[in-house]
Amino acid sequence: MRRRTTLALLLALTACARPVVTPATPAGVDGEWRSYGHDAGGMRFSPLAQIDRGNVSRLARAWTYHTGELETRSDSASARDARRPPALETTPLMVGDVLYLSTAYQRVIALDAETGRERWTYDPYAGREKLRAGSPHRGVAYWEGRGPNGSRDTRIVYGTIDGRLIVLDAATGRPVPTFGDAGVVNLRAGMTDVPGAYGMTSPPAIYRDLVITGALVPESAARGPSGDIRAWDVRTGKLVWQFHTVPHEGEPGNDTWEPGSWRDRTGANVWSIMTVDVERGLVFLPIGSAASDFYGGDRKGANLYANSLVALDAATGRLRWHRQLVHHDIWDYDVASPPALVTIRRDGREIPAVVALTKSGLMFVLDRRTGEPLFPIEERPMPASHVPGEQASPTQPYPVKPAPLSRHTAITAAELTDVTPESRAYCTRLFAQFGQSGGAYTPPDTVLGMWFPGTLGGATWSGASIDPATATAFVNVNEIGAMGVIRRRAPGAPAPAWERWAPGGGYARFWDDHDLPCQRPPWGKLHAIDLATGEFRWTVPLGVNDSLLARGVGKTGAPNIGGSIATAGGLVFIGSTNDKRLRAFDVRTGEELWVTRLEGSAHATPITYRGARSGKQFVVIAAGGGGQFDRDQADVVAAYALPDGVAP
């Protein structure tokens, strides 16, 4: 139940004449952060206001925790370039006086929320160290209920990269023996009839006594483990329901696949974060692309439910509605952002809504009861593919509002970077190799080409945070093109017969040899969008490049991955950028009010909470570098608070 301050805020908003937004579901205890998105609906808004516009500049480091997970790597340049360490992408939870977080090696750690002192750790690879694998891991889920004798039962629920669903006692960190096999369910069972990787990198969704899981599955091969969504009893580990993300024969949507092409199809999975409408009993699935990512000649058709926002009955797994946001994806334009649930007030009526974002950089605002758009969606004609056997979709859906959040047009030679002579020269040589330059939904070709947005978006799993006081969604996006060519696979390679290739790898980006994007800045942006009108309130560059700052080139924006949060103090907090910084922006203007340096780039989403003992508001961020953008690595979880004596 919300406390008096939040009720007062919402009553004040209701009285306003302009359209406003309210949270979709109760957020639990106001001072805590119990779900990945704070509330089950994923608004990532905190009603705490101790830290505000007037004092945020006084924030200081309160404590630092080191996970101890630093890779030992060769100092040679070739070794550094060969593999970047996994990012520390975790978003902690805070319940009571404890923080719960996961690491890139799937350890779970409980910390004292006010001091950062370690309470307990759990290692799923203890005694099996040779099987340990690093991977981005975005966090854990929390469940609370009653035991057989009426006692309080609290559990931490999460998955591993090798396909295990694990339930821990939140008080001790020990596996719950009555769940599955001594606290573990084998998620691979029944999903891997065709060989391929299967694991979890994001926290599951929780609805009542159900744990709802997605998975990370292969993207380069056409056949492999299923991307189906499943629900498990949180007490016993028994399977309750399963939803086929690639419809089987006789199921609605199967006719959107070329006959037989659905069978053993991998992809079409939820590797990111689901959200829940507790009141209506709905779970929302942001489903990724069908495999393989860049060639669909062996899966002609729209390919439901790939690249769709899907609403299921959370108790039964029955389909309530779906809306496909990219047809027949051949660009890796996943629907990866957590769907954010809000209530939009227009003309005196309340509309329960869901905000969906895609890597193509489009935002769709839908009625979450029906999937109907709140802003019209147009099917716009798109170019045909020249790749043998491929049939690109003749149209793609575009919302009339908001406008695209990232570039959707081809780049010209006149728009190449000029931040340094060296970067311009490199990018000019690279650009001259292209036989094709296109915007969004330009099909990859048999000649080397480049298009915007690339595989890093647009919007990514970073998603949106929403401030109800200003009816605004805050979304960070990349402006990084993709480049590649579609070529035949080597004889004997797994299907399909065609693959994307480029100098620098299959997911190559249009940037120079120092990872500076090849078009003029900004390369990263933070948008503020009015959800009631679909208009942009403001847009600012997000991030800097230190080497360019030293040469007098500032405010370039930077490649970014990891989301934002909004607070009742009128602030948006975000790390995300590859410049090792955490920032706070004014929700009204986009002015940067505070910035601090971190030990590593924070490719994660922060949280904020009130300390149970001190009453202080803390902001916590994981800063580990690595991942898509960084060769540098750190192992830090950092907490910030106002110094004693600073008045809220």
Positions marked active-site: 332
How far, CA to CA in Å, does 402 sit from each of 332, 377, 406, 536?
A: 22, 11, 11, 7
- Find the DSSP H helices in 457-568: 546-549
Q: Tell me whether the omega of the peptide bond preceding residue 158 falls within 30 degrees of 0, making it cis.
A: no
Looking at residue 582, what DSSP letter applies? E
> What would you report as the CA-atom Rg of the chain, rounded to the nearest whole angstrom?
23
Q: How many residues does the chain have?
A: 648
User: Quick one: three-class SS letters along 293-352?
Assistant: CCCCCCCCCCCCCCCEEEEEECCCCCEEEEEECCCCCCCCCCCCCCCEEEEEEECCEEEE
Mapping DSSP onto H, E and C, the string for 228-241 reads: CEEEEECCCCCEEE
| Residue in the block written with tokens 């080409």 | 449
Q: For residue 27, what are the contacts with CB-CB under 8 A and spacing of at least 6?
A: 2, 6, 34, 38, 39, 43, 45, 47
DSSP 551-569: TT-------B-S-EEEETT
Taking the C-alpha atoms of residue 545 and residue 554, their distance in angstroms, rounded to an integer, is: 7
Distance CA(631)–CA(545), nearest Å, equals 15
Strand partners, 102: 108
Report the phi/psi class of residue 576: left, alpha or beta, with left for phi > 0 and alpha for psi in -120 to 50: left
Strand order in the sheet with 108-112: 93-95, 98-102, 108-112, 118-122
Token pair of 138 as six digits: 């975005």
- Contacts for 378-387: CB closer than 8 Å, 24+ residues apart: 382/441, 383/438, 383/441, 383/442, 383/443, 384/443, 385/330, 385/443, 385/444, 385/445, 386/443, 386/445, 386/446, 387/295, 387/297, 387/443, 387/444, 387/445, 387/446, 387/486, 387/498
Cis peptide before 76 (omega within 30 of 0): no
Task: Give all strands of the β-sheet with 229-233 in edge-to-edge order.
Answer: 205-207, 210-213, 229-233, 239-243
